[in-house]
Structure 1
């Protein structure tokens, strides 16, 4: 087993992935060991050599008695990087791991390629941690286990994946109390806010939509406000996204770090295609409809909206082989044939409002539809189209 030594403690570490890939270091939450990232590592190793470690006081690393500090834990990370022969890396941390990473750049900025700070905070209530550590010192880890499980995982995940929760619960119950209290003291005593403006590495802040321990407000928002140029992404998870939403977390990490390492060419190309598609979409559907559609975007639907804008509206509607009038009428015929009535009404309204076709051309298209897709489809299409025409002709239309 590989170990590094830092300030008198042995620290366990391991690597996964090919030696010729860029290195990514993963740091864990308090109360967990490097297995926290087991579901994520296979998703990262196609692009990265992944270096994990057990934080001082956890897993196979030593757990000296006494209070630790974030500076001490940051020194531990650098010692592990040295032992693994890593000069510079992208650094990813969850909760305590991210707190350590916020303390590391002022010590060794030249060793940081990029930072990903997940489900974390630059400041926590010291009195809460004092009470928690006093409880552990008096009664051991058992009283903390169930409250911590409720913070680590969302209720839905706990119900659907009891095997994951039980694994983490058993590990927390077996946690060395000295190690937990040492790291808890580092969280209690941290003073990171003054450090944040000096961070120059590209930084991504990841929050969990269901994270009750470090929600966006009061935690991530303070990091984003203080770290120049930092970016934010939200995933559908509670406090441990590597276990609850590993694919979403790995995707966010790979996209961000990949851009840092290889430049913005891919993102710039996507942005160019999106803007071109948006111009066509406005010509066909009108500004008002497109503005409403964009305003309704959510974290869940935004990627889909971007995709159809790039591909449907730029790659297809933007092709020179057919004019927009012909494409509009084709869409109407296809939507009516497949009974896609919401989309049919949208394009009837947009086509008539935008002058994309006349009522006579609409009628002829539906007559053609009756022959090739059937009278029942044409019956419904005429009814739906007539209702849209009536709405447009009404004073409120």
Structure 2
């Protein structure tokens, strides 16, 4: 990974490939670029692929002052400017989507003509999820709340790459970053209501694609279909996997849909 200091923080990133549309791969909180290891080789032949770690998420894990998706978007603007990227399709995972939409609003539809989001809870946050977010902010409960989320995201699947990602990568982040992620995500739902509502509030509409496996419930599928009927710029595609991590569980299917969308 290469490192640039942006807004006083080191930001790790790498660039693979050179031809075709530029894709900016963004993880969720308490993850890093390794989430996309299986996906990059599948995309780089026809795309310029940029991976970027959030501040405090790269090789330097020194404590950082509190930040949220607004600061994440500021870092991304600075990174894209430094790399002379004039047009980009953000591809965000989970709650990295809040920053991806903020980036789209800041740069406009000419520079960010479309956005892809991966396995991001699109509706209002369920009570159980909010309870886990609040547990994640309590020093005596955060590890339990995190484990409940890990169990939900794995869903008992026999998928070693996902199990390793949870135990090796996500579990390497301690209470400070985990608590920060939980309150930022909780505050985003409180402010916007849902990611779908945030998308509808974009200053300029553009195509948005949601690729997901969880939750695999009819009501969730139908709610997104109903939203798409009212907002034809939005499309959701269920991938049929078990876990919260299609980049690790279903990279070939994910790459196929992303390549089609970017074209």
TM range (shorter): 0.7 to 0.9
For structure 1, list consecutive stretches of 5 or more residues without a partner in the other structure: 259-397
**Correspondences of 1:295-314 after superposition (within 5 Å):** none
SS of equivalent residue, structure 2 residue 211: strand
| Number of the residue aligned with 2:167 | 169
Structure 1 segment 14-53 matched on structure 2, within 5 A: 14-17=14-17, 19-53=18-52
Give the 3 Å change call, closer, same or farther, for CA 197–223 of structure 1 in structure 2: farther
Q: Is the 8 A contact 2:136 2:146 kept in 1?
A: no
Question: When you count strand as a share of all residues, which structure comes out higher?
Answer: 2
Q: Give the Cα–Cα distance (whole angstroms) in 1 for the partners of residues 198 and 250 of structure 2.
A: 31
1:370 alignment partner in structure 2:
none
Question: Shift of residue 22 of structure 1?
Answer: 2.3
Change in Cα spacing, 1:23 to 1:175, as seen in structure 2 (3 Å) is same
Change in 2 beyond 3 A, CA 1:63/1:201: farther
2-side partners of 1:47 and 1:181: how far apart?
A: 38
1: CA distance, partners of 2:70 / 2:230 = 20
Corresponding position of 1:196: 200
Higher relative contact order (CA 8 A, sep 6+): 2
Q: 1:131 to 1:14 in 2, by over 3 A?
A: same
Question: Could you state the TM-score of these two structures normalised by the residue count of structure 2?
Answer: 0.81
Residue 152 (structure 2) aligns with: 151
In the alignment, is residue 247 of structure 1 matched against residue 257 of structure 2?
no
After superposition, the Cα gap between the structure-2 partners of 1:138 and 1:65, relative to the gap in structure 1 and judged at 3 Å, is: farther
- Displacement after TM superposition at 1:32 (Å): 1.6
CA distance in 1, matches of 2:90, 2:161: 29
Q: Which of structures 1 and 2 has the bigger CA Rg? A: 1
- Give the secondary-structure state (helix, strand or coil) at the position aligned to 1:113: coil
1:72/1:217 CA distance change after superposition, 3 Å? farther
Specify whether residues 209 and 187 from structure 1 end up closer, same or farther in structure 2 by C-alpha distance, changes over 3 A only.
closer
- Shift in Å at residue 92 of structure 1? 0.6
Pair 1:6–1:132, CA change in 2 (3 A): farther
Structure 2 spans left out of the alignment, 5+ residues? none
TM (norm. structure 1) is 0.56
Q: Which has the higher helix share?
A: 1
Match of 2:86 in 1: 87
Task: Tell me, in whole angstroms, the C-alpha distance in 2 between the residues paired with 1:103 and 1:97.
Answer: 10
Over the aligned positions, Cα root-mean-square deviation in angstroms equals: 2.9
Structure 1 194/53 Cα, relative in aligned 2: closer, same or farther at 3 Å? closer
Q: 2: distance between equivalents of 1:118 and 1:2?
A: 25
